[in-house]
Structure 1
Amino acid sequence: MTYSADSTAGFPLGVSVTPNDLFSLVPADTDNVFFLFAQVKCICFQLLTGLQYLHKNFIVHRDLKVSNLLMTDKGCVKIADFGLARAYSVPAKQMTPKVVTLWYRAPELLLGSTTQTTAIDMWAVGCILAELLAHKPLLPGTSEIQQIDLIIQLLGTPNETIWPGFSKLPLVGQYTVRKQPYNNLKHKFPWLSEAGLRLLNFLFMYDPKKRATAEDSLASSYFKEKPLPCEPQLMPTFPHHRNKRVSSSGAEGQAKRCKQ
Structure 2
Amino acid sequence: MTGFCWRKSGLLGDMEEDRLGRCRSVKEFEKLNRIGEGTYGIVYRARDTKSNEIVALKKVRMDKEKDGIPISSLREITLLLKLRHPNIVELKEVVVGNHLESIFLVMGYCEQDLASLLENMQTPFSEAQVKCICFQLLTGLQYLHESFIVHRDLKVSNLLMTDKGCVKIADFGLARAFSTPAKQMTPKVVTLWYRAPELLLGSTTQTTAIDMWAVGCILAELLAHKPLLPGSSEIQQIDLIIQLLGTPNENIWPGFSKLPLVGQYTVRKQPYNNLKHKFPWLSEAGLRLLNFLFMYDPKKRATAEDSLASSYFKEKPLPCEPQLMPTFPHHRNKRASGTGAESQCKRSKP
Provide the TM-score with structure 1 as the length reference.
0.88
Show the counterpart of 2:35: none
Q: Compare 154-163 and 242-251 and name the one that shifted more.
A: 242-251
Cα distance in 2, alignment partners of residues 58 and 193 from structure 1? 33
What is the Cα deviation at residue 186 of structure 1? 0.2
Deviation of the 1:253 alpha carbon? 1.5
User: Comparing both structures, which one devotes a greater share of its residues to strand?
Assistant: 2
**Unmatched 5+ stretches in structure 2:** 1-106
What is the Cα deviation at residue 138 of structure 1? 0.2
| Structure 1 vs Structure 2 CA RMSD | 1.7
Q: Relative to structure 1, is the Cα distance of residues 35 and 90 closer, same or farther in structure 2, using a 3 angstrom cutoff?
A: farther
The Cα shift of 1:2 comes to 6.8
What residue ranges of structure 1 are gaps of 5+ in the alignment?
4-20
Q: Percent identity?
A: 91
Could you tell me whether the CA contact under 8 Å between 2:157 and 2:347 is conserved in 1? no
What is the CA distance between 1:110 and its match in structure 2?
0.3
**What is aligned with 1:98?**
188
Give the greater-gyration-radius structure (CA).
2
Greater relative contact order (CA < 8 Å, ≥ 6 in sequence): 1
Q: Could you tell me which residue of structure 2 aligns to residue 13 of structure 1? A: none
Distance 1:91 1:24, change over 3 A: same
Q: Cα–Cα, structure 1 residues 185 and 94, in superposed 2: closer, same or farther, change >3 Å?
A: same
Deviations, residues 169-210 of structure 1 (Å, cap 9, x unaligned):
000000000000000000000000000000000000000000
| Alpha-carbon offset, residue 240 of structure 1 | 5.1
- How far apart are the structure 2 equivalents of 1:23 and 1:243? 15
1:252 positional shift: 1.8
Shift of the 244–112 alpha-carbon distance from structure 1 to 2, 3 Å rule, reads farther
Change (3 A) 1:35 1:113: farther
Whether the aligned pair in 2 keeps the contact of 1:24 and 1:244 (CA below 8 Å) is no
Residue 2 of structure 1 pairs with residue 108 of structure 2: yes
TM-score (norm 2): 0.66
**Cα distance, 1:70 vs structure 2:** 0.4
Contact map agreement 1:41 1:228 (CA 8 A) in 2:
yes
Contact 2:120 / 2:340 at 8 angstroms: preserved in 1? no
| Structure-2 change in CA distance of 1:52 and 1:142 (3 Å) | same
Aligned match for 1:147, one of 229, 237, 241: 237
What CA distance in whole angstroms lies between the structure 2 residues aligned with 1:71 and 1:61?
18
Question: Alignment length, in residue pairs?
Answer: 239
Partners of 2:124 and 2:273 in 1: how far apart? 26
Tell me if the contact between 1:102 and 1:257 (Cα under 8 Å) persists in the aligned partners: no
The 8 Å contact of residues 103 and 147 in structure 1, kept in 2 or not, is answered as yes
The question of whether the paired residues in 2 share the 8 Å contact of 1:155 and 1:182 is answered with yes
